[in-house]
Amino acid sequence: MELKLSNICEIVHEYVETSPLNRVAELNDLKLFDSPLVEVAAASDPLFDDLKKPSIVGPDHLSPREWLSGAKTVISYFLPFTSRVRKANRISGLPAIEWLYGRIEGEQFNRSLSGYLVDYLRDNGYQAVAPSSDPRFAVKDRRSNWSERH
């Protein structure tokens, strides 16, 4: 089965819309994330090597092919907070409860989504890894060997 970007987008979008982890029952069924942006990059893109520069992330940063021998593609997604989460935190002072759920439970949702995507790909005959959930993931001097924020 050949996967296309449209297939990957559909899988990710469906998960975001249907997963109960994207909802907070205690806050009147608050939805944390809106529809994500999904893109792919070639694992061989030289920009990944630029992340090894000390001025960006550092030499301990691993490239896609260091995470997964023979890697061809990097799937990247961005989970935007819903307007309710964003607007709640505009009030000065302590972070809004909606924002805190977005930060803590939102990260749990992010890990769940990446795990779901890895499982889906493996079940369909592809090799896949989510670096931030891999045992090799490490943080040294506040810099990790894989960045989900660059």
Per-domain boundaries in the chain:
5-42+77-133
At residue 92, does pLDDT exceed 80? no
Amino acid at 144: S
pLDDT at residue number 62: 93
CA distances from 59 to 53, 95, 135 (A): 6, 34, 19
Segment 6-47, tens digit of pLDDT: 999 999 999 999 999 999 999 999 999 999 999 999 999 999
Mean pLDDT of 121-144: 91
Amino acid at 61: H
Least confident of 36-45, 50-59, 100-109: 50-59
What pTM was estimated for this model as a whole? 0.90
